[in-house]
Amino acid sequence: MRAKAAGDGVDVYLFLRAASEAAALHQAHAIIDGARAPLQAHGYSTTGPHH
């Protein structure tokens, strides 16, 4: 994982090892879903990927 300051918050980059792209996306969604409630409890939010 890497974090980088952004104009409107922090961009977090996840590096995942998986058998397929679908498996990596599933892992990423699980990580974000698990982090969403604690982040919101501290006044932060999650957004979709930046392209």
- Copy the structure tokens of residue 6: 């952004």
pTM across the whole model: 0.62
Round to whole Å and give the CA distance between 48 and 12.
11
Round to whole Å and give the CA distance between 51 and 44.
21
pLDDT in tens, 1-51: 899 998 888 888 889 999 999 999 999 889 888 888 898 898 887 776 655
Residue 50's pLDDT is what? 55
Residue 11's pLDDT is what? 86
Round to whole Å and give the CA distance between 46 and 32.
8
